[in-house]
Amino acid sequence: MFSLIAAIGKNNELGKNNQLIFHIKEDMKFFRNTTKDHKVVMGRNTWKSLPGKLPNRINIVVSETPITEADLTIQELAPFIQKNKGTDEEIFIIGGGMIYREFLNHAKNLYLTEIDNEDPAADTFFPTFDKSKYTKEIIKKGSENGLNYTFAKYIKK
Ligand SMILES: NC(=O)c1ccc[n+]([C@@H]2O[C@H](COP(=O)([O-])OP(=O)(O)OC[C@H]3O[C@@H](n4cnc5c(N)ncnc54)[C@H](OP(=O)(O)O)[C@@H]3O)[C@@H](O)[C@H]2O)c1
Question: Which among 50, 63, 80, 101 is the best mutation to test ligand 1's pocket, defined by most ligand atoms within 8 Å of the CB?
Answer: 63
The pTM (predicted TM-score) of the whole model is 0.98
Give the Cα separation of 20 and 96 in Å (integer). Answer: 10
- 110 Cβ closer than 6 Å to some ligand 1 atom: no
**113 vs 123: CA distance, rounded Å:** 18
Pick the atom of ligand 1 nearest to 46's CA: 20
> What residue owns the CA closest to ligand 1's atom 35?
63
pLDDT value, residue 4? 98
Q: What does DSSP assign to residue 131?
A: G
Mean pLDDT per 10-residue interval, the chain, length 157 residues: 98 98 97 98 98 97 97 98 96 98 98 98 98 98 96 98
What pLDDT score does 44 carry? 98
- Verify whether ligand 1 is closer than 6 Å to residue 18 (CB atom): yes
Would you list the DSSP string of 95-109?
Answer: --HHHHHHHGGGEEE
**pLDDT for position 8:** 98
Question: Which numbered atom of ligand 1 lies nearest the CA of 78?
Answer: 31
What is the C-alpha radius of gyration for the chain, rounded to an integer number of angstroms?
Answer: 15
Tell me if 65 CB under 6 Å of ligand 1: yes
Q: What is the pLDDT of residue 39?
A: 98
Distance 124 CA to ligand 1 centre (A): 9
Q: Which candidate, 91, 137, 133, 93, places its Cα nearest to that of 114?
A: 137
Alpha helices in 4-157 (DSSP H): 25-35, 44-49, 77-84, 97-103
CATH superfamily for 2-150 is Dihydrofolate Reductase, subunit A (3.40.430.10)
Query: What local confidence, expressed as pLDDT, does residue 141 receive?
Result: 98
Peptide bond into 96 cis (omega under 30): yes
Give the pLDDT of residue 11.
98
Q: Which residue lies with its CA nearest to atom 24 of ligand 1?
A: 43
| Other beta carbons less than 10 A from residue 72's beta carbon | 14
Measured in Å, residue 42 CA sits from the centre of ligand 1 at: 7
Collapsed DSSP state (helix, strand, coil) of residue 91: strand
Q: Which of 85, 132, 135 is nearest to 110 (CA)?
A: 135
pLDDT of residue 64: 98
* Confidence at residue 54, expressed as pLDDT on a 0 to 100 scale: 98
pLDDT of residue 97: 98
The gap from C-alpha 99 to its chain's centroid, in whole angstroms, comes to 9
Give the pLDDT score at 135. 98
CB 129 within 8 A of CB 6: no
Question: pLDDT at position 90, please?
Answer: 98
